[in-house]
Chains A and B, each alone.
Chain A
Amino acid sequence: MTNEHYLIVSHLAAAGLGLGAVLGTAAILAGPHREATGGSLRRLGYLFRRVFRPWLVLAVAFGFVSVSYIDCDHGNYQAVVGDRDHLHEKSREHVMWMASSLAVAILVYGFAMVPLLWARARKARGASPKTRLRAAGTDDRKGGLVP
């Protein structure tokens, strides 16, 4: 296999691996994610469910494009394809960046889920400000205390 072919094959393999990682991650987390985003906040949960997969795809795509083949020793295409070790190194970098971006994306998404669970808990307890006002015998639409 020539270095040009290796470059093409390694790009395609890295892209396939990234796509596989996204599909695998989405499949592993699909059931628990539905469980966490279901319940009383239907619209917000729906938004989270719609956004989850694109979020993972964006993270892996970010990792994929974060690899630069051009550096001080390899200033142009000819220099890049002339060095097989450099191509090996960059293929490994693709995997490294995609895996770490995906891991960070899952972690960040976990933080984003906290307000959703909190809002669900508040709704379940009936602790929204409006409900509390009603429960306390006041209604802001009528401008004060309800007799």
Chain B
Amino acid sequence: MLSVLCFMLYAVLVSGVVAALIGFARKPMFELFRANAHMAPGARFYVRAFTLVIALGAVSAVAAYHGPCAEQAQDMTFWDCLWRAFDQLQHVLLVACLFLLGYVLLVTFLFAVLGRYRDE
């Protein structure tokens, strides 16, 4: 029973991290894409792609979740559960950091190429 609770806790933490990342980045990204008329057509694509990339990265990290083995599951306490969830969360945070870094590089590259134009 506690092993299921472990996974639920882990899933809630992952969802929170993903929702926070997406929530923090969406608005500034839309504003960035409003810099000029040449970047605007790509705005919706890049923002949706960002959401998908972060969400898929989280799915990939959740799929890598390792539950407690049979001996450990028998005498688990709440704290074991919490520590296990935090331990597994490091994969999610690492994957999220890498994908976020990749996306920041992409948006920077896009802005370096197109952001210098001014609307006439």
Contact = CB atoms under 8 A, between A and B. Distances in A.
Contacts of A28: 48, 52
B109 interface: yes
A36 B102 CA distance: 20
Q: Chain B, interface size: which category? A: 20 to 34
Contact of A103 (B37, B39, B46, B52): B52
Interface residues of A, number: 33
Contact of B53 (A32, A103, A124): A103
Interface of B: 37-39, 41-49, 52-53, 56-57, 59-61, 63-65, 95, 99, 102-103, 106, 109-110, 113-114, 117, 120
Per CB-CB distance, the 3 closest pairs between chain A and chain B, nearest first, are A121-B38, A32-B44, A32-B45
Interface of A: 21, 25, 28-29, 31-33, 35-36, 38-39, 92-93, 95-97, 99-100, 102-103, 106-107, 109-111, 113-114, 117-118, 120-121, 124-125
